[in-house]
Copies of this chain bind each other. A is one copy, B any other.
Amino acid sequence: MLTLYTYFRSSASFRVRIALNLKGLPYESVPVHLVRDGGQQLLPEFRALNPDALVPVLLDGGQALHQSLAIIEYLDEIHPTPALLPKAALDRAQVRALALDVACEIHPLNNLRVLKYLKHELKVPEEAKNGWYRHWIELGFASLEKRLNASPPAGDFCFGDTPTMADCCLIPQIFNAQRFDVDLSPYPTIRRIHAHCMTLDAFAKAAPGAQPDAE
């Protein structure tokens, strides 16, 4: 049995929820509230599972796995069908790079603990903090939009006509963008992929609003 420590709004947890759903793997969901109790991820019980104090954590037979992309690669290795990475090495590199474009260039800058540091340590005013949030999404989405229209162009999904790890990363990032009122009109391909993904149960049921801990 798989157990996922998750927070409904956590973008990295959302990635793993999509992957689990795409693979049809049932899991028990354990909510970790990132705000309540001063942040339940900071409590010793959770830190024992993940010293980073970050969700998600996936428990598989007593083994705690962390880092959403490492978890998705793991799921893809032990449950290869349906595959979340293409077969050819160059294609795999392209899908991984798209996933990392979100996971390394956008999301880390908009993480809750980073926003807290900007507010409390650097005394950045609310509007400038929201501007920072939007800036990294807009910068990242502008180059992603170019890539998705380059060779080979995106199909129904980021890469071809089946969902991959890249979609697992992109869709949660779009939710964050919408929450912070980022104007998505300059990114028609990203919007098209998003609209298509959200017609699928695997994505819709992984969304923040569909989680048991949603507020």
Contacts and interface: CB of A to CB of B under 8 A. Distances in A.
Interface stretch (A19-27, A28-36, A70-78, A187-195): A70-78
Contacts of A122: 118, 122, 124, 128, 132
Interface of A: 51-54, 60, 63, 65-67, 69-71, 73-74, 77-78, 89-90, 92-94, 96-97, 100-101, 103-105, 107-109, 114, 117-118, 121-122, 124, 128, 131-132, 135, 140, 142-143, 146-147
Contacts of A117: 132, 135
A121 B131 CA distance: 10
B92 A73 contact: yes
Given A74-B92, A93-B73, A105 B108 contact: yes
Contact of A89 (B74, B105, B135): B74
**Copies of this subunit:** 2
A85 to B, nearest CB: 10
